[in-house]
Amino acid sequence: MNNNNTINDGLLVKYLMKEATAEEVQQVETWLRDSKENQQYLNGLQLIWEESASLAEGSEEEESAAWIKLENRLNLNTPVVPKRRIFNSPSLRIAAIVVLICGLGWFASYYFRNPALLTLQSHADILHKVLPDGSEITLNKNSEIIYSSIFRGKNRPVKLTGEAFFKVSPDKEKPFIITVNEITVKVVGTTFNVKNRNKKTVVVVETGTVQVSWRNKTVELHAGEQSIVDKDQTGLSKEKTRSKLYNYYRTNELECEHTPLQELVDILNEIHHKNIVISRSALKNKEITADFKNQSLEEIIQVIKETFKIQVEYKNQQILLK
């Protein structure tokens, strides 16, 4: 139970599960607006939620092993490994784990005796932040990171929503671990980009080595490689980095080198909030090599039109390339 008696952890768990009623959602959001401490408390609970997701996805044997690992991490004095799995639903198991941890009183005591969890939200701006360990983060628009004011323990955990470029300070004894939409990215000192949009997560490595894990799969990436996790396709891939388009929000430049037209169009839609559609399937994989810097959308579309000898039609809030 948290120290603020106006709300209980069970209701916060329902809120995280998106199963709270409209009245309960309003109650939680009013509580969140009351103070920054309340928002930080929920952020911490959400981090436990993310940690618990890995317990809920595995077999009973994997779950028990993960419980033991979690006990050691939280320094719990009383073992809490369930003797048998009670819930078959992953969501219910996650909720049970979170409620159990809160019921033991660990979270409240940990929260109030340890450094604050901080939240950085970019909204309509691109933000640059230096973390307590000296690592640097460039946060793209409409993104968020949650991190501790002081990194204690055996790792440096950060939770990401959206997209960010990381320049991580080397520390082999204390890995830098990013959680993004149930995916774990682990590094000790490197530069890389992480993007999560529309159920797809892309990790692009510029320097060093990065370990990407999802469910029971793990891949190791090196400079010039990327990994894509597409939840609709339930896959974790590893491949050569195909373009430098991911850099656009840091460099204000679109670098295309044998880049499929569809990839460029996806980025243009994201930047300009437009609905550009390639009407011919064969055109989507046509490659373009060009650099666009400080050019308007209209100028870029004109280059595309001339390069591929195509027509452009503006129709019903769409820009059709055909």
Res. 29: pLDDT tops 80: yes
CATH number of the domain at 117-240, out of 1.20.1050.140, 2.60.120.1440, 3.90.550.10, 3.40.50.300?
2.60.120.1440
Specify whether the CB–CB gap between 107 and 113 falls below 8 A.
Answer: no
Instruction: Return the H-helix or E-strand segment holding 221.
Output: strand 217-222
Spell out a b/e string for 74-83, using b for 16 or more CB atoms within 10 Å of the CB, else e: beeeeebebe
What's the rounded mean pLDDT across residues 45-73? Answer: 50
Query: What's the pLDDT score for residue 233?
Result: 66
Stronger pLDDT, 239 or 49, i.e. the higher one: 239
Confidence of residue 71 (pLDDT cuts 50, 70, 90): very low
Residue 80 is predicted with a pLDDT of: 40
Assign 117 a pLDDT band (cuts: 50, 70, 90).
Answer: confident
Residue type, 241: T
Average pLDDT over residues 137-157: 88
CB neighbour list of residue 18: distance below 8 Å, 6 or more residues apart? none
**Amino acid identity at 144:** E
* Residue-range domain boundaries for the chain: 9-113, 117-240, 245-321
Mean residue pLDDT of the chain comes to 79
Confidence class for position 37, pLDDT limits 50, 70, 90: confident
Is the CATH number of domain 245-321 3.90.470.20? no
More confidently predicted of 102 and 287:
287
pLDDT given for residue 187 in this prediction: 92
Contact 238, 231 (CB under 8 A): no
Q: Judge whether residue 91 has pLDDT over 60.
A: no
Look at residue 152 in the predicted model and tell me its pLDDT. 75
> For position 114, what pLDDT does the model report?
52
Please check the confidence at residue 151 and state whether its pLDDT lies above 50.
yes
- For residue 308, what pLDDT is reported? 92
Q: Label residue 50 by pLDDT band (50, 70, 90).
A: low
Residue that is written with structure tokens 């996790």 in the block: 229
**What tokens appear for 263 in the block?**
């990839």
Report pLDDT for 49.
58
Averaged pLDDT for residues 285-296: 91
pLDDT attached to residue 145: 93
pLDDT confidence tier of residue 243, bands split at 50, 70 and 90: confident
With a threshold of 0.85, does the pTM exceed it? no
Q: How far apart are the first and last CA of the chain?
A: 59
The DSSP-derived string for 205-242 is: EEESEEEEEETTEEEEEETTEEEEEETTTTEE--EE--
Side chain identity, residue 253: E
